[in-house]
Amino acid sequence: MDIVCEVKRTVVDTFHEISVHGFIFLVKRGNNILERIIWLFCICIGVYGIIKLGSDTWNRYQTSPTVISMDRSKFSWNTSFPSLTICSDKRIDDDKLEEYLEANPEKFPNDESKENARKFIKKLSLISYSEMDEFPLGLEGNIKTDEYLQLMNDLKWNFHPEISSGTSNKLIMQQMITENGICDSVNSKVAYYNQYSYWKANRWDIVKPNLTVVVHPLDGEIYAQLTNLSTAYSVFFHGAMEIPDISKIMHRFPQTDYTTVEFLALEILTSPDAKKLSPSQRNCRLETESEELLTSTIYSFNLCRSQCRFKMALKECKCVPYFYRNVDKRGRKYPVCGPEGMRCIGKMKDEIITLKSTTKKIDCDCMANCDNSNFFTQSIRSRVWFLGANLQWGIIDYPKLQLKRELLFGLSDVLVYIGGLGGLFLGCSLLGFTELIFFFTWGLLKNLFHHIRNKMSIDIKT
């Protein structure tokens, strides 16, 4: 009972001392019980209003603190030049293949096994999800599934077209492993992380990105060109921070055509303040935020979708295609699909390509890139060219606007809003809440200390 009395006295003293409106009338002498109930009701309404509107304000900060604005000053920014990934129809070097067959007589002891191996390796080099349901059985012989990717890399035909552009910056072509096999990417910042050498070395580090080509309206019409392609090919166009997505349009061109592709561009960028927010707040991910990806060092929207296909294949068929990195960040190794596994994946090719299904839910939970370049095909012109396959591409019309994700409602705004709610409902500030906490805790400790000391003094005297 003594402690209860001390707590009661502390509450009364605190309510007399603090500057928060209304509390003093709960303990003021002369007020009857009805007045105290009325004031308690008013205070409860005020506290409820602060909590309810304060939680709404906090929820807004957590879910939608950004806004997409439009910048129309087209001469104040550079535009990324379209990147591409090109996959030649010829993937395997015949001379390298013959050397491999002759160097492994224990695997290929006769002409029949060698011929089967030739068909199998060439078919494997061109495989993608759309053809897996027709993958031939019984041709693989003694080739192990763990050897598939290394074989594709070691026997790869050297595809080295000449690259030129109308800018001072040099376009760089890099090998990249895609869901269409081993291809080559131009003007990409992502290709390095999807090279066989990077995977083979078990690397997970982020390197300084190579310079990519950007253009400005004052540069005039800028085109890049690949010449002496010497084979038919397929090509995907995308941004510098993306990889090809097999669900998007793939252009195929024959060996005899000179092709020109022209684009319109639209970019969305994120301000430095917005980048400081969490991914759930800005509803996008930076390239360094790859924690959710098992087998990728960096993040992109298409890399996330690719991992979603990886997981679907693993779940349904207990293996993954050879063109995926089959070792994750924790060192876990995943089985690579043989012909039977690829046939299994091929049975659900429509679902795994589109990541849509009418019978089950497919939730990849992939966020957009915070900085992203989108290119829209404006025109494609092809004509027969006596010098072989050439590809020219560029931006036909520079974008007249740029989208920017900016911080609209920051943490300082949250504090101002909640402080305003305290002033509106209880007529107090942060200092008033500090007084409430300080006087109650300090007063309670002081009263208890005096109570215990007095009690000990009485016990000693007695």
Residue-wise DSSP of 136-204: -SS--TT--GGGHHHHHHHTB-----EEEESSSSPP-EEEEEEBTEEEEEES-SSGGGGSHHHHHTT--
User: Would you say residue 458 has pLDDT above 70?
Assistant: no
Q: Please state the length of the chain.
A: 462
DSSP state of 333: B
Residues of the chain above pLDDT 70, percent: 94
| 15 CB-near residues (< 8 Å, 6+ apart) | 23, 24, 26, 27
* Cα–Cα distance, 263 to 413 (Å, whole number): 41
pLDDT tens digits, residue range 40-94? 898 888 889 989 999 999 999 999 899 999 988 888 888 899 999 999 999 999 9
- Report how far residue 118's alpha carbon sits from residue 94's, in angstroms, rounded to the nearest whole number: 9
Predicted local distance difference test score (pLDDT) of residue 77: 86
Predicted confidence (pLDDT) at residue 4 exceeds the cutoff of 80: no
What is residue 50's DSSP assignment? Answer: H
Mean pLDDT to the nearest integer, 442-451: 70
pLDDT over 70 at 461, yes or no: no
Beta strand residue intervals within 209-273, DSSP E: 214-215, 223-227, 233-238, 251-253, 257-270
Place of tokens 């305290």: 422
> Using one digit for the tens of pLDDT, what is the confidence trace for 235-258?
999 999 999 999 988 899 998 899
What φ, ψ does residue 365 adopt, rounded to 5°? Answer: 55, 50
The model carries a pTM of: 0.85
Q: Is 272 helix (H, G, I), strand (E, B) or coil?
A: helix
**In angstroms, rounded to a whole number, what is the distance separating the alpha carbons of residues 117 and 272?**
54
pLDDT, tens only, 293-344: 999 999 999 999 999 999 999 999 999 999 999 999 999 999 999 999 999 9
CB contact at 8 A, 325 and 179: no
Res 3 pLDDT > 70: no
Q: How many CA atoms lie within 13 A of 318 on its CB side?
A: 1
Residue pair 264/399 in contact by the 8 Å Cβ criterion: yes
Residue 328: predicted pLDDT: 92
Confidence of residue 462 (pLDDT cuts 50, 70, 90): low
**For residue 415, is pLDDT > 90?**
no
Give the count of beta carbons closer than 10 Å to the beta carbon of residue 409: 16
Could you give the CA distance from residue 398 to residue 411 in angstroms, rounded to a whole number?
A: 37
Residue 169 confidence (pLDDT): 79
All structural domains of the chain with their residue ranges:
2-64+411-461, 70-407
Eight-class DSSP state of 22? T
Mean pLDDT, residues 26-33 taken together: 78
Residue 217 scores a pLDDT above 80: yes
CB 195 within 8 A of CB 149: no
CB 261 within 8 A of CB 392: yes
Dist. CA 282–CA 272, nearest whole Å: 12
Q: Name the range with the highest mean pLDDT among 10-24, 333-347, 356-370, 372-386.
A: 333-347
Amino acid at 386: F
State CA 3 to chain mean position distance. Answer: 57
Assess contact for 229 and 161: CB atoms under 8 A: yes
128-143: burial string, b at 16+ Cβ within 10 Å, e else? bbbebeebeeebbeeb
Report yes or no: 208 and 287 within 8 Å, Cβ to Cβ: no
Q: Per-residue pLDDT for 178 more than 90?
A: yes
| 255-289 per-position pLDDT tens digit | 889 999 999 999 999 999 999 999 999 999 999 99
- Look up residue 192 and give its two tokens: 């390095």
Q: What was the pLDDT predicted at 285?
A: 95
Q: Is 19 helix (H, G, I), strand (E, B) or coil?
A: coil
User: What are the residues whose beta carbons fall under 8 Å from the beta carbon of 221, sequence distance 6 or more?
Assistant: 166, 394, 396
pLDDT for position 281: 93
What does the alpha-carbon distance between residue 233 and residue 90 come to, in Å, rounded to a whole number? 8
Residue 459 has pLDDT above 70, yes or no: no
Better pLDDT: 139 or 237 = 237
Pick from 299, 291, 297, 292: which is nearest to 363 by CA? 292
pLDDT of res. 220? 80
Q: Mean pLDDT, the chain, as a whole number?
A: 88
| 107 Cβ contact list (under 8 Å, min separation 6) | 113, 117, 141, 142, 143
Beta-carbon count within 10 A of 237 CB: 21
